[in-house]
Each structure stands twice: as structure tokens, then as C-alpha cells.
Amino acid sequence: MDCFLSVVYCNGFRQWTTDNGQRSVDFITFLQLIISGLAMGAIYALVALGFVLIYNAVGIVNFAQGEFIMIPAFFGITALVTWYLPVPVAYSLVLAAMVVFGLVFELIAYYPLRNRPFLPVVISTIGASILLKNLAQNIWGAIPLRFPGLFETGTLNLGGLRIGLQHLLILGVTLILLILQYLLFEKTLLGKKMQATAQDKQTARLMGIPINKMIALTFIYSALLGGVAALLVAPILNVTKDMGGPIALKAFSSSIIGGFGSIPGAILGGLFVGVIEAIAGKYYSAYTDGVAFFVLIAVLLFRPQGIFGERIAEKA
Amino acid sequence: MLKVKDIETYYGSIQALKGISLEVNEGEVVTLLGSNGAGKSTTLKTISGLLRPVRGTIEFMGERIDHLKPEVIVQKGIAHVPEGRKIFPGLTVRDNLMLGASGRVKLSKAQIAEEAEQMLELFPALKPFADKLGWTLSGGQQQMLAIARGLMARPKLLLLDEPSLGLAPVLVQEVFHIIRDINTRGTTILLVEQNAFMALKVAHRGYVMETGKIVLHDLATNLLNNEQVKRAYLGTTKAARRQVVG
Ligand SMILES: Nc1ncnc2c1ncn2[C@@H]1O[C@H](COP(=O)(O)OP(=O)(O)O)[C@@H](O)[C@H]1O
Ligand SMILES: [Mg+2]
């Protein structure tokens, strides 16, 4: 896969720094970094949202969130490469499979432990993570696989500013998804019931809200977010059983940086980490993966409630 | 309408209800009195299904409900307005109201929205705050909202847990006025209160609880004049009574 599409696993952006005009090079370089950073940040944001929605709904941190990306990436390879299905069919199939996956995950890893304290449930998700990785290795093998992208080497050239089409796709789809999510949670009764379930389960039950259904739906939605993120990002990464770990860790950091539990915080935190990481990766490429954690520690030292966490802290 | 018989409810190994029996007839306001920790809230939670009794039975409209889930019991016609209001803090007043009708699955969203508007007309104090988030309301507004939200379930029986708790005297008056009003419109009410004087004024009958048991049961007018009740719950001085009346 071409280097310019990847922020995480390639070093630098050689192509355009050499053949662009002189005067505007620095600004364009910077702009390009920002855009690719935002694209990777959008992926972190999607995964961070998955974390936060599950946390808000049931009060646990899902340590298998990374596998919510890895599994659909492999599903996608099976559908696109093994079965050779057309892209729309394959993508729809992956998302449909993630609906089932989210439900099964909830029924096995969460539901039986729903009345237990935090720790047993968290351990259960860690167990699920290990199980899923072993399963993936058994089914798809240990060799990294390539996920066929929609755009082989496509870039959009805007007066010297080159933007990878995959990056554009990531940003566009994420934006649409966030709008849909906003409409779901803020404009539909179902979304309100999911919010009510997250805010106060006992009272939600007294209102007649079927909270177990709402919780299952939250897991399903979280798995769907992973599915979308996987379809978007897998073409610019290697697909391996361990691919979810670093993304999930950075997404988790993003959600803490944004203020854990806050939905806007998860989105902005993800974008923030993506951009910082892209800029840092340009100048200190060896440390790209560590940047998110450095930022996390800095934020926790100076703003323990997270950058965007103020309003939530006030609410509590 | 409601027949509670010998129920025993536990929190883990701690027995909170030690054989409670009570009845509520259609059209009544029945009050359940008792000091803090007597088991009043536990009784309501057991009726609404949040807690399951280990022994005893609960019948509503001739049907056993003691094994049902709360989300089913509300559909049978019992709405429980919990202690502490429990408004959804991150949702607007209007959304809180609409969610109160969640058990009425046959209604469309438009119908529920319409009923929420009607409810806002009935609670004019809430109307200016319809689009404000729950956590921004004052205690009195939250209590009005909690009651209004309970009514959105169109209950036959309304369980109210300490609706006057922590409210200024004027608001206490208003809450009891609303309770009487709801009852006159045909809803049966089981009212848990620490404000025994006001509760007995509005109720037809009353039960007095102590440490998980019913110790007294009579018409409200008799309980108001009962020496034991006067001493324990009404205060012996006229000053205490004056304070309550405002
Ligand atoms: N969640 C709980 N866990 C353990 N014990 C509880 C719980 N809730 C209430 N209790 C106990 O049950 C008894 C009855 O409580 P409650 O029904 O809340 O009393 P009331 O509403 O009359 O003030 C009290 O002794 C209280 O300490
Ligand atoms: Mg109580």
C-alpha cells in the first residue's frame, strides 16, 4: 500500500515535499499533515465513541474494543478477497455481521455478569479480547493480510495540496456517521431511551423502558462503529490479529483526553490525538505511537477532567 | 385494587420487610407513614417490581404481579414516582415526560408528544422549562416533573415516595394540592410520606410502619387523632403543626 495513505505505519510524506512549489511548501505540508491527522483521528474518534457509549450504558470499560475493529477487518477480507464479492455487498455484509457480533458479544461477555461489580465484567471483556484474537489467528492465520482499498493510489490535487482519497473517504463517512448518530440520540425516542438507560437504569425500568434491549442495542451500535472504522482504516493498515490493540489504546487515550464519558469529548479527543500524532510523526517518526500517551499523561497532569470534560464535571 | 399479603423483602441477607400486608381500593388515597428506615420505600419498590419479595404475594386488579419485571408492571397500570425524583438529568423536561409513556408501546411518537404537551398544560409551572435539561430544575420543579412523568404512563395506581421531601412549605402545599387533584380525576394513590399531618389530611386511610412491619392501620381521620401517631409523627406542639401548615 502506498505510503502517503498511512499516517501510522509509514515514515514521512516524501512524495509531496519534493515536487511541490517552494514558497508554500511549509504551509501545504502542514495542511496535509493536519488532514491526514484528522483522518486517523476520525478513526480514533469512532473507536473512542464505542468505548464511551458502552461505558455510559453499563459502567464498564470494554477491553475488547480493539477487536471490534480487527474482526470486521478480517470479515472484510473474507468477503472481498475469498468470496470475491462486489464492494457494496461485501461492506454491507461486514456491517450486518457486526450487528450479530455486537449482540453475541453482549450476550456472552456482558449479560450473564450484568449484576456483578465493575471488575468481573472488565475481566470478562479482557477474556473476550484474548479469545477473539486466538479465534482470528485460527481462522485467518498469523501472516498480516492486505485489505483491498477502494482507491489504489488515488489523491486529490488542490493547487499543490494532495489529499489521499482514502483520507477524504474516512473524513466524509465519519462526518455522515456522526450526523446520523446525533439524529439517533437526539431526535428519536429510541435514542432518548438509550440515553435514559445510560443515565439511570432503575428509573428507566419504572418508565417501562426495556433496559436490557437498550444495552444490547448499545453494544450493537458500538460494534457497528468498529465495523465502519475497520472498513475505512483497514486499507491503510496491515490486517493482523493484533491490529486493534494500538488503535484501541489510542482511542481510549483520546476519550480520556476529551473527558471520559463525554461524546463530544471522544470525538474531539480522537481528532486531537490524530493531528498531534501526525505532526509528531513527521518530525519524530520513531515515536509516533508513543505520542498519544505522552499527550495523555500531560493532559492528566494538568487537566484531570480532560480537555473537554468541564461541563460533565459540573453536571455531576 | 392492590392487595399486598405478607411480603418479606431482603437486601442481601438483611430483611427490610418482615411480612407487610396492605390493601388499596379503587379511588382511594392511602398513605404509608413511618420514620426513616421503616421500610416504606422498600414496600413501594417491591410493589413496582424493582425488588422481588422472598415471601408473600402482590395482587393487582385480581392478577399476581409479584414475579413480574418493573417494565411489565408499569404496563399493567402501576406507576412508581421514586424517592428523590430521579429525573433524567441529561434529558429535557419534555423528553423526561415523553419517556414516562415508554410502557405504552401502542402509541406513536406523535401521540406521545401530544400528550406531553397536554401534561405541560396541566403543570403550568413546568411549561417555561420544557426545553431545559432535567438537572437545571429546582427541587420543586423536579418533583412536579416526576409526578407528571409518572402520570404519562396513564396509571390506574400511582405510587408516590415522599413527594414533599425537601420542599419549601409553599411547594409542599402545592404538591399536596396536585395529589388531591390527581385523585379527584380518578387515579388511585398510594402515598409514602414523612409529613404525616399533610398526608393524613389528603388520604382516606393510612398505615403506619415501623422497622419492616405494619403497626397501625385506620381511617386517616382516626389516625390524625390517634395519641400514638400524634406523639411519634405529628409532633406534640402546636408550633410543629403550624410550621407544616405554613
Ligand atoms: N439498597 C439497600 N441495601 C441495603 N439495605 C437497604 C437498602 N435500601 C434500604 N435498606 C435498608 O432497608 C431498611 C428500609 O429502608 P427504606 O425502605 O428505604 O426505608 P424508608 O423508605 O421507610 O425510609 C433500612 O434499614 C435501610 O437501611
Ligand atoms: Mg424512603
Sign of CA dihedral A265, A8, A130, A78: positive
Q: Are strands A155-158 and B188-193 parallel, antiparallel or unpaired?
A: unpaired
B107, pLDDT greater than 70: yes
Q: Is B7 helix (H, G, I), strand (E, B) or coil?
A: strand
Q: Which three cell numbers stand for residue B234?
A: 405529628
Most B CBs within 10 Å, among A185, A206, A215, A314, to test the B interface: A206
Nearest CA owner, ligand 1 atom 25: B37
Instruction: Write out pLDDT tens, residues B108-136.
Output: 999 999 999 999 999 999 999 999 999 99
B36 Cβ below 6 A of ligand 1: yes
Q: What is the pLDDT of residue A9?
A: 38
As a residue count, chain A comes to: 316
Say if CB A144 and CB A240 are below 8 A apart.
yes
A25, pLDDT greater than 70: no
ipTM: 0.90
Ligand 1 atom at shortest distance from the alpha carbon of B192: 21
A311, pLDDT greater than 80: no
A292, pLDDT greater than 80: no
Tell the residue number behind the cell numbers 455478569, with chain if given.
A113
Q: What is the pLDDT of residue A152?
A: 65
Domains of chain A in sequence order: 2-302 (1.10.3470)
Q: What is the pLDDT of residue B172?
A: 92
Q: Which residues from chain A sit within 8 angstroms of residue B132, using beta carbons?
A: none
What is the number of the ligand closest to the CA of B43? Answer: 1
Q: Report which residue type is found at A79.
A: A
Q: Which three cell numbers stand for residue B207?
A: 398505615
B208 Cβ below 6 A of ligand 1: no
End-to-end Cα separation, chain A, in angstroms: 47
Instruction: Write out pLDDT tens, residues A41-91.
Output: 999 999 999 999 999 999 899 999 999 999 999 999 999 999 999 999 999
The verdict on a CB contact (< 8 Å) between A315 and B109 is no
The verdict on a CB contact (< 8 Å) between A199 and B80 is no
A291, pLDDT greater than 90: no
Cite the DSSP H helix spans in chain A: 14-19, 25-58, 67-77, 87-105, 118-140, 165-187, 189-199, 201-206, 211-233, 244-258, 263-283, 288-302, 310-315
Say if CB A260 and CB A166 are below 8 A apart.
no
Q: What is the pLDDT of residue A24?
A: 54
Kindly give the distance from the C-alpha atom of residue B21 to the centroid of ligand 1, in angstroms, as a whole number: 18
Mean pLDDT of A128-149: 94
User: Which element (helix H / strand E) includes B11?
Assistant: strand B2-11
Mean pLDDT of A269-279: 92
Most A CBs within 10 Å, among B41, B50, B72, B86, to test the A interface: B86
How far, CA to CA in Å, does A15 sit from each of A24, A139, A150, A158, B235?
15, 37, 21, 15, 86
The verdict on a CB contact (< 8 Å) between A202 and B50 is yes
Which residues 168-197 of B have a C-beta within 8 angstroms of A?
none
How far, CA to CA in Å, does A65 sit from each of A27, A229, B199?
36, 12, 52
Any chain B CB within 8 A of the CB of A211? Answer: yes
b/e sequence B74-110, b meaning 16+ C-beta within 10 Å: bbbbbbbbbbebbbbbbbbbbbbbbbbbbbbeebeee
Ligand 1 atom at shortest distance from the alpha carbon of B40: 22
Q: Which residues from chain B sit within 8 angstroms of residue A193, using beta carbons?
A: 99, 102
A4, pLDDT greater than 90: no
Q: What is the pLDDT of residue A315?
A: 38
- Between A238 and A24, the more confident residue is A238
User: Which element (helix H / strand E) includes B228?
Assistant: helix B227-229
Say if CB A215 and CB A106 are below 8 A apart.
yes
Domains of chain B in sequence order: 2-83+155-242 (3.40.50.300)
Most A CBs within 10 Å, among B95, B108, B119, to test the A interface: B95
A310, pLDDT greater than 90: no
Mean pLDDT, chain A, as a whole number? 87
Nearest CA owner, ligand 1 atom 4: B11
Q: What is the pLDDT of residue B15?
A: 96
Task: Give B69's DSSP letter.
Answer: -
Q: Which three cell numbers stand for residue B63?
A: 392478577
Give the CA dihedral B102, A54, A166, A163, nearest 10 degrees.
100
A184, pLDDT greater than 60: yes
Beta carbon pairs, A and B, within 8 Å: 70
Q: Which residues from chain A sit within 8 angstroms of residue B112, using beta carbons?
A: 189
The verdict on a CB contact (< 8 Å) between A206 and B80 is yes
In this prediction the pTM is 0.87
B20, pLDDT greater than 90: yes
Q: What is the pLDDT of residue A17?
A: 42
Ligand 1 atom at shortest distance from the alpha carbon of B39: 17
Ligand 1 atom at shortest distance from the alpha carbon of B38: 22
Q: What is the pLDDT of residue A6?
A: 41
Closest CA to A178 of A71, A254, A270, A260: A270
Mean pLDDT of B32-49: 95
Q: What is the pLDDT of residue A285?
A: 73
